[in-house]
Chains A and B, each alone.
Chain A
Amino acid sequence: MSRDTLDLPQGTLDMLVLKALSLGAMHGYGIGQRIQQLADGMLRVEEGTLYPALYRLERRGWIESEWGLSDNNRRARFYTLTRVGRRQLEVEASDWARLTLAIRKVMHAS
């Protein structure tokens, strides 16, 4: 594993996927790209974990999918955030914020 990209901490992928989809419907490949771009290329999402995450989120009812046409006019499966998913994103975002705040306090203690 190269040093320029980071592995995602356990459990954060779901939140990132929800966040990516909160910006608009997107297909699997696009979601991966979108997260990478938003992280300035510091994060990389593996396909081997992305699709399981998508199917898991769909099963939980946080996202739903539908076939549509991609930018280059190909059939692709587009995922959208549901209302439940949006609420879930808020919960996870605030949890994450508190967690990072807590960790930063610990790490910056002197």
Chain B
Amino acid sequence: MGRLKPWLRRCEWLWRSSRIHDEIAEEFQFHLDQRTEANIRSGMPPDAARRDALRRFGPLLQITEQGYDVRGAGGLDALIADLRYATRLLVKNGGLTSIAMVTLALGIGASTAMFSVTHAVLLRPLPYNDPTRLVVIGGDMRMRHNFDEPLSYENYADLREGTRDVFDDMTAVVTTRNIFARGDGTPEQLKRAFVPANFFRLLGARIVGGRDFGDADGQPALLRDSAATPNQPQLPLVSIISYEYWQRRFGGSPTVFGHPLQYGANSTLIVGALAPEFELVFRDSADVERSCDIFTAMRVNYDSRHRSGFYVVDDKLKWTGLRAIARLKPGVSLERAEQSAGRVAAEVRRDFPVYGGGGFYYHLEPMHQHLVAEVRPAVRAFMGAVVFLLLIACANVANFLLVHTSLRERELAVRGALGATRARLIRQVLVEALLVAAGGTLLGIALASAGIRGLVGMMPPHVPRLDTIALDPAVLLFSIAAGLAAAAGFGIVPAWRASHPDLMLTLHGSGRTRGLGEGSLRNGVAVAEVALSFVLLIGSGLMMRSFIALQHIKLGFDPHHVLTFQVLPGMLESTSETRATRIREIQTALRQVSDVEQITAAALVPLDGGYGTIPWGQEAAIVDRSRYQAADSLSVLPGYFETMRTPLLAGRTFTEADNTPDRNLVIVDQVLAAKAFPQESAVGQRILISIRPVKPEWVEIIGVVAHQRATSIAESGNPQIYFTDGFLGHGSTSRWMLRTAVDPATVAPSVRAAIRNLDSNLLVNNMAPMTRLVERAQAGTRFSLLLLGTFATTATILASVGLYGVLAALVRQRTPEIGVRLALGALPPNIFALVVGQGLRLSTIGIGLGVIAAVGLTRVIASMLVGVQPTDPLTFGGIVVGFFIIAAVACWIPARRASGLDPLVALRDE
């Protein structure tokens, strides 16, 4: 019974409200009957008598006939009535309603999709313990304009010692790739990280099998005065494997722990396995592999007194390439940590001229900020674009509701007169807005889930954590909030107007009179729409110019008809002779493949990453080491420039005879040549470089080639120096490039077969046509262009619909006035000009505001632009003109209708 009671009460409410409605109906019915009777008595025929009685009631009766409870009860039943009534009205107004909903759906869909991206990329916390306290540390050489480079072991170790006051602890990581054997013995390339023993403890990673590293795992493998040969570590290297590799390779068996894993001539002891999905999340340019299969503890030998140190990587000793991660002590600010690190850097600069001259500083950045720094401007710009689009969509719907409401102002006024309270009327209009918003939101969510799939497909590969982008609950919440905000936002104004106190004026008037506020309100909305979409158009115009500029940049090589791939040896080739032989064998094997015209190899492929700088200098650098400058270096096989079609500007290219360690010959690009020898030819000159161990050496420039856009298409990058593979002791060139007579993809299978026939232990990797690398390098700009372009187009369409709506409403409002003007002798062209003039006036204000806003806002996307200034006058000018044309078209139809009005009809309209 207790549960039944509320239900009964609800039934009573419903019944009561319908009784109120019935009472009014009955009262009116009584009145109608009395009037009809009286009319008949005075001699009217019954039909006419009844019609006259109905006519006298006018709109009052229509409203009660629509079944609306005019006096308004409270509670649930009233809300249901509101909903039912609003639905009926909106359905009746089907065309306008669906435009409003689709508009909103576009806005909400786009913003939800973009918010999903932002959430995954910018907002989601790092997958580590207490990630806000994590700081990533690199090194700057400010004098050489090198920033956030990896640290040497010495600089890492000294920083760790010197900053114990601000950091709980510090660790580091460097990743590489090694070839391991699969279960069946065939080779497989694994991603591998070398880390100090405290790595997983500092990040808070979970070990699910075996054990974590202990401090003993990081103890020096080689003692300074050890009699053992330095190539033979005395203690085994200890490794923890990823959950995925554990499952894939060992079926998740715990028996693997404590057993050595062989790779080439080396082995490592597996002691544990990580929890699933452990990732190293660094930004792309940090050159850290994201998901490593195997993590090996560095055995570190460092003596801070002599500042000589190294860590052991297989049978080699390494001393550089580290990314440091530190955990701030609770309550310590980044500024304090920077001061502390600054003191260590000052000591390093003081004690070591190479760092003093280079302007060495530690580069501290919160880990999350470090991760997203490269994409933040783009994501922010897109978020901005989306907010604009959402605003425009809301403005359009607000306009729709303003028109929708003003058409029923009379009806609302009558309802107010019949006793509906102001709150009641506001609620009624809000319910309508809410219905439109709900429909738009639902549609928008559907659009968003389709849009996210599209976005992820189009995204450039360097966006962090791309794979985690999905329509998740937080995003869903956002879109619902956006929908509600939109409803409240654009519902409140019409609702307020509907409840305006001078309702009786409207009731007495013709239903066309406007409060002073409305015209200017609607104009304001239109101006805002024009301004917002103008800013978006400018943004996409700039991106378009960038994209065109990108297409026209001289790459310094011809990417067409070039197949690139990597050939890795199954085992490390031990001597330079065997490595040289191996390369010749591969060359010979590739020459047998049909349709291959030219063959070459280099250490790296342009636009595929991995470039590092070496110092170069002239006489002055011998005494003053700060005079060294940075250049990208690349070792190549003879024939490289011919195959890549990199233009030779002076001198000659490498020959087979140059391809030995004892010929100190280099080829430089035009940038370096101009820097080093601005007045004379660089050919035959000597420069000082430091690439081979021990000390800098003089090399002779034999040729000057065009600059290659090797690290990025958009930026010209460092000057370039080329050596022969032989100069570096053979075997450094594993990236092959074939110029083919046909589509390079068709040659790929026979290339694989040729390498397999040569030696089945050779691993062929990263096979791709060169053009794909170029496309990938353009992907960021292409993506930005596509996105901003879509937003701008949508926004412009919406804005012109908005402009059209405002002018159409204006013409409808001023129809009587236009009639008077026509009657007084105005010609249709005058009327046409009147309406178009009004539209263009609004557009001019909007565009003016848009220009101001765009000048301020395009700075946000400055880092995404190529070869064009954020305030490019051509873009601004072109879009201003273009927008006026669009605005003129939007004004055309209402203006035509206005000028085509028959004065008599227009006058009678009142």
Interface residues of A (CB under 8 A from B): 27-29, 46-49, 51-52, 55-56, 59, 70, 74-77
Contacts and interface: CB of A to CB of B under 8 A. Distances in A.
B56 A47 contact: yes
- How big is chain B's contact interface, by range? 20 to 34
29 contacts: A27-B31, A28-B30, A28-B31, A29-B30, A29-B34, A46-B56, A47-B31, A47-B35, A47-B58, A48-B56, A48-B58, A48-B59, A48-B60, A48-B507, A49-B507, A51-B418, A52-B60, A52-B414, A52-B417, A52-B419, A55-B418, A55-B419, A56-B417, A56-B419, A75-B26, A75-B30, A76-B27, A76-B30, A77-B26
B58 to A, nearest CB: 4
Nearest to A7: B508
Q: Which of B27, B419, B507 is packed against the most chain A CB atoms within 10 Å?
A: B27
Contacts of A46: 56, 58
B27 A48 contact: no
B56 A27 contact: no
A74 B35 CA distance: 14
Most chain B C-beta atoms within 10 Å of own C-beta, residue among A27, A51, A56: A51
Contacts of A75: 26, 30
A70 B414 CA distance: 27
Contacts of A74: 30, 33
Given A47-B56, A48-B59, A77-B23, A27 B417 contact: no
Contacts of B33: 74
B30 A47 contact: no
A63 to B, nearest CB: 13
B677 interface: no
Contacts of A51: 27-28, 60, 418
Contacts of B56: 46-48
Nearest to A28: B31
Interface string B4-43: 0000000000000000000100111011011100000000
Contacts, number: 54
A85 B284 CA distance: 82
B467 to A, nearest CB: 63
B627 interface: no
Contacts of B59: 48
B505 to A, nearest CB: 10
Contacts of B419: 52, 55-56, 59
B60 to A, nearest CB: 5
A29 B33 CA distance: 10
A7 to B, nearest CB: 9
Nearest to B419: A55
**Interface majority SS (helix, strand, loop, mixed), chain A:** helix
A75 B58 CA distance: 23
Nearest to A44: B56
Given A28-B27, A46-B58, A55-B417, 5 more contacts: A27-B31, A47-B57, A48-B57, A51-B60, A76-B30
Contacts of A28: 27, 30-31
A48 B60 CA distance: 6
Nearest to A11: B504
A65 to B, nearest CB: 9
Interface string B56-96: 11111000000000010000000000000000000000000
5 nearest A-B pairs in the assembled complex, by CB-CB distance: A52-B417, A29-B34, A48-B58, A55-B419, A29-B31
A55 B71 CA distance: 9
A56 B58 CA distance: 18
A32 to B, nearest CB: 8
Contacts of B414: 48, 52
Interface in B475-511: 507
A27 B418 contact: no
Interface string B501-524: 000000100000000000000000
Nearest to A76: B30
Contacts of A59: 419
A14 to B, nearest CB: 11
A27 B30 contact: yes
Q: Which of A27, A47, A56 is packed against the most chain B CB atoms within 10 Å?
A: A47
Contacts of B35: 29, 47
